[in-house]
Amino acid sequence: MPHLDTISRWLTATTGRTLDQHAADPVPAAAHLPDAAANLRHLRTELLLAVDALRTLLINEDDLHGSTSTVAGPVETIRELAREYRYARNWIDTLIGDEARAAYAQANPGRSVRRRYVNPGDTVLVVLPHTDSCRRQSLAGHATHVKVGTSDARLRPPGSVNPLRLSHADAGIYRDPTEDRLYILQATADEGDHSH
């Protein structure tokens, strides 16, 4: 079911950059924002569903016909999800407040990027994001061909005979929450990078 992506709108309003623009920034905190937003989005949905289930249980008076654990179980689930949600929100706040991210954003306009939708099995050219993992492996910022999988991507690093698997987030592959489709980012023609 398509829905408005409230997390993306909130982050754009808060930082002045879209999640796609953050993903293109060469700063780890910015590169991690799309994945952190996906995690927060997921937990927020789970929390909403758990609260709705408890509300429905109370409206249907199931709590009056069952044992006391009828309410206690869903309340414990909500408590656990709320704790995970708080951690996810704190992580986003840390990324937003990162001094290097903020300084880069202030000094550089958000890059113009466009989405190209991809499917598992496709081999595509991506510019690997500046996530901590890509930086540790000296892959960040390099244009490389990756084979898209359902939850990760395969690539062959330069000079290596062994393929490497990267998570979607580390391979520059993102999921559109409203379309539930995978996409990569490409610079738009006005920047002249990797466009055709």
Per-residue pLDDT tens for 114-162? 999 999 999 999 999 999 999 999 999 999 999 999 999 999 877 777 8
Distance (Å, whole) CA 152 – CA 162: 16
Q: Which of 18, 57, 64, 62 is nearest to 37 (CA)?
A: 18
Q: What pTM was computed for the model?
A: 0.84
Quick: pLDDT tens for 19-77.
999 999 999 999 999 999 999 999 999 999 999 999 999 898 888 887 778 888 899 99
Q: Phi-psi region for residue 150, left (φ > 0), alpha (ψ -120 to 50) or beta? A: alpha
For residue 80 the two structure tokens come to: 């656990």
